[in-house]
Amino acid sequence: MGFKTVAHAGEEGPPAYIWEALDLLQVARIDHGVRCTEAPNLVARLVAERIPLTV
């Protein structure tokens, strides 16, 4: 139907929550996600896949 999926992840929880949102939920955007900076390979993936964060 064209709707984009979004998850609130990586604000209070670990970067693993962001990985799960990407892999399990196939999200198009992450709300918050500030803990991604703890995992440089996660930041690289967000950039490569052009996944925006709302911070």
Q: What is the DSSP string of the chain?
A: --PPPEEEESSSS-HHHHHHHHHHH--SEEEE-GGGGG-HHHHHHHHHTT--EE-
Please tell me the total count of domains within the chain: 1
Full residue range of the structural domain in which residue 47 is found: 6-54
Rounded to two decimals, the pTM is 0.88
State the amino acid at position 49 in one-letter form. E
What are the residue numbers of the active site?
11
Nearest to 46, CA basis, from 14, 28, 55: 28
Q: What is the pLDDT of residue 2?
A: 85
**pLDDT tens for residues 20-55?**
999 999 999 999 999 999 999 999 999 999 999 998
**pLDDT tens for residues 7-19?**
999 898 999 999 9
Q: What is the pLDDT of residue 44?
A: 98
1 found inside a domain: no
